[in-house]
Amino acid sequence: MSEAKIINDPVFGFIKIPRGVLLNIVRHPLMQRLTRIKQLGLASAVYPGAQHTRFQHSIGAFHLVSEAVFSLQQKGIFIFDSEAEAVEAAILMHDIGHGPFSHVLENTLISGISHEEISLLMMEQMNREMNGALTLSISIFKNEYPKRFLHQLISSQLDMDRLDYLSRDSFFTGVSEGNIGSARIIKMLDVVDDGLVVDHKGIYSIESYLIARRLMYWQVYLHKTAVACEAMLINVLRRAKQLTRQGRRLFATPALTYFLENDVDQERFRQDAEALHHYCALDDNDIWSSVKVWMNDEDRVLALLSANLVERNIFRVKVYDEPIPEEKINAVRQEIQTRLNLSDDECRYLLSANTVRKNMYSMNDDHISIKYKDGTCKDISEASELFDIARISKKNSKYYLCFQRI
């Protein structure tokens, strides 16, 4: 019997999954659900190659954590085999609580609970099924384990999650500016005072990483067309939920029906086992199959928005550097209402005004520290000649007005 399963990954090549706990996680239905959820949601409307899944991303992040652990061990950082396996298990499961189309669901069908909290609920369920084998992984994931640098490998400003998704999303979208030297960054990692640091020889790689991250956010994740597609999907689900509340029985899968009929928040997740059960059954297919049927619904707004999504008739988008004046929003709303002969209530689903704020580096999060030959450490903002701390910490704001094409 072979010792490991091998996955051929287009980004990193052959990745070994050892038999035992790690392979059991990969084979678990909750992990396999991620094969049916796209990593970039509706970004494929802009970049047709962006068809990769959250499962692929989780496998890639696992690979990078394995490489990081090995590199740190070579430098004399003491990591038990049990700790190495636990941090690898934690990164495998870090995205397990994502719903279809990522944050769309968090804004519509559920409220007051993040995908990280749902990930934790799912991990605890898997831990019970595996007789406590994931207890150490959960402790690292929650940052409760004494070796804090292990948690930083999973969640920090320089975690393996980010290193994978930047490389992977760059590869599948074809946006080459996002391609980063993850192998070199990992080789440069070290630990000082229980925190991850980067050797000073890797400073240029870190600068490139921060620039790549900024470019990927504005070119891919917050591309105006992707934002418009997401606004349409959010409004489709909101309209479907409103119609369901009014007594309409819409076509939907059992899992999606549960979230249309119920107000599901953090308390509901913790008190009603049905909530997590139905959430675990939700994937992209539930949404798409329902939206395709809603194209022919008797409700004009639901049918129009659903047809927009399926036929790629995307909302028009105007992007502003300053907050959008209310009178401008009202003028657009009035024109849509008049031209399509809709009520005030119907019209509000055909327009969306969003504010997006993003910075390249946050001084409020844990820092990226650069280690020098004499053992001293400096924050990247001080160590870099390229970056001005005031500029890289400043949140850039963009204001999107998305509305129905007429």
CA–CA distance, 352 with 292 (Å, rounded to integer): 22
Tokens of 144: 């409760």
CA–CA distance, 92 with 5 (Å, rounded to integer): 15
pLDDT of residue 175: 94
Q: Which residue has the tokens 């990745």?
A: 15
Residue 173 phi/psi, 5-degree rounding, is: -85, -25
pLDDT tens, the chain, 406 aa long: 457 899 999 999 999 999 999 999 999 999 999 999 999 999 999 999 999 999 999 999 999 999 999 999 999 999 999 999 999 999 999 999 999 997 777 778 999 998 899 999 999 999 999 999 999 999 999 999 999 999 999 999 899 999 999 999 999 999 988 888 899 999 999 999 999 999 999 999 998 998 898 889 889 998 999 999 999 999 999 999 999 999 999 999 999 999 999 999 999 998 899 999 999 999 999 999 999 999 999 999 999 999 999 999 999 999 998 999 999 999 999 999 999 999 999 999 999 998 887 766 666 666 899 999 998 999 888 888 776 655 666 667 889 999 999 8
Tokens of 197: 């640091």
131: left (phi over 0), alpha (psi -120 to 50) or beta: left
- Residue 153 contacts residue 159 (beta carbons within 8 Å): yes
Sheet holding 195-199, edge to edge: 189-192, 195-199, 369-371, 377-379
pLDDT of residue 127: 98
- Residue 270 contacts residue 83 (beta carbons within 8 Å): no
Tokens of 42: 């509706």
- Residue 128 contacts residue 136 (beta carbons within 8 Å): no
Q: How far is CA 162 from CA 92, 143, 209, 212, 278, in A?
A: 13, 18, 10, 11, 29
Distance from chain centroid for Cα 248: 32
Is 224-357 CATH 1.20.1250.30?
yes
Tokens of 404: 């129905």
pLDDT of residue 1: 44
What pTM was computed for the model? 0.94
312: left (phi over 0), alpha (psi -120 to 50) or beta: left
DSSP symbols for 267-320: HHHHH-HHHHHHHHH--HHHHHHHHHHHTT-SSHHHHHHHHHHHHT-PPEEEEE
Torsion of CA 276, 282, 287, 289, to 10 degrees: -130
pLDDT of residue 314: 94
Domain boundaries, the chain: 4-222, 224-357
Q: If residue 164 lies in a helix (H) or strand (E), which one and from where to where?
A: helix 160-173
pLDDT of residue 2: 53
Is 4-222 CATH 1.20.1440.230?
no
pLDDT of residue 102: 77
